[in-house]
Amino acid sequence: MKVEITAIPDVLLITPKVFADARGFFYESYNHQTFVEKTGLDINFVQDNHSRSQKNVLRGLHYQIGKPQGKLVRALVGTIQDVAVDLRKSSPTFGQSVSYILSAENYQQLWIPAGFAHGFAVLSDVAEVAYKATDYYAPAEDRCLLWNDPDVAIAWQLSDTPIVSAKDAVGKLLKEAELFA
Ligand SMILES: Cc1cn([C@H]2C[C@H](O)[C@@H](COP(=O)(O)OP(=O)(O)O[C@H]3O[C@H](C)C(=O)[C@H](O)[C@H]3O)O2)c(=O)[nH]c1=O
C-alpha cells in the first residue's frame, strides 16, 4: 500500500497492492493495521457507504458540521473525479481543493479527513462508489457547499451540465457556509 501526500497535506492518495493473476485480481481494500502504520492516523471507521450514479452525476460537496466524517473513497465500477475542499478556517489551505481520478482500473483511494467537503463527478457511463466514514450519518448536521462556487473554482471534468440533487442545486457558497475552526 502506497500513501502519497497531496497538495493539501492532510488529504492522502492511497494505492493498494493489487495481486493479479490469470483469474483476475485480489487486493485488501482496507486493512486497519496497515492503514494506521502507513498513514500514522489512528482512526476508526464506523460506516460503509455505496452509491451508484450515471454519467455526469455530481454528488456533493457534502460535509457534516457536527459529527464531521473522515472518508476513505474508492470507485468499484467506472471512473469518478473525486474532490475534497478544505473548510478549516485556520488551515493554510482553507478554501482550496484537490481532485483525483479514482477508478475501478486504478484501484486508488482518497483519504479525506473531517473538516473537508467531499464530492465527485461521474466520468464513465456509470460509477459505483464505496466509502468508509469515521462517524455516523447525521442528517441534521448534513451541509452542502455549492459545487460550482466561483471562489473555490473546482475544474470539474464534466462533458455537460451535471445532474445534481435538489439539495445540491442550492448548496451554499463558501462565504456563507458553516465552517470548521
Ligand atoms: C449520506 C447518507 C444518505 N442516506 C440516505 C439519505 C437519503 O434518503 C439518501 C440519499 O442521500 P444523499 O442524497 O445525501 O446522498 P449523496 O448525495 O450520495 O450524499 C453523499 O454524497 C457525498 C459524495 C458524500 O461524501 C456524503 O457521504 C454523502 O452526503 O440516502 C443515508 O441513509 N445514510 C447516509 O450516510
What are the structural domains of the chain? 2-169 (2.60.120.10)
pLDDT score for 59:
98
126 CA to centre of ligand 1 in angstroms: 17
CA–CA separation, 44 and 70 (whole Å): 9
> What's residue 159's pLDDT?
84
ipTM of model over 0.95: yes
| Pocket flag, ligand 1, residue 49 (CB < 6 Å) | yes
- Dist. CA 58–CA 45, nearest whole Å: 24
User: So which residues are the catalytic ones?
Assistant: 62, 131
Pocket lining: 59 vs ligand 1, CB cutoff 6 Å: yes
Pocket test of ligand 1: the residue of 47, 59, 109, 128 to mutate, having most ligand atoms within 8 Å of its CB, is 59
Say what the pTM is.
0.98
pLDDT in tens, 107-161: 999 999 999 999 999 999 999 999 999 999 999 999 999 999 999 999 999 989 9
- pLDDT at position 174: 98
Nearest CA to ligand 1 atom 2: 137
pLDDT tens figures, 118-133? 999 999 999 999 999 9
For residues 119 and 80, what is the distance between their CA atoms, to the nearest angstrom?
A: 10
Ligand 1 pocket test, pick from 11, 54, 62 with the greatest ligand atom count within 8 Å of Cβ, gives: 62
For residue 54 and ligand 1, the question of a CB distance below 6 A is answered with no
Per the structure block, which three cell numbers stand in for 111? 483519504
- Cβ count within 10 A of residue 71: 24
Q: Which residues contact 20 (CB under 8 A, 6 or more apart)?
A: none
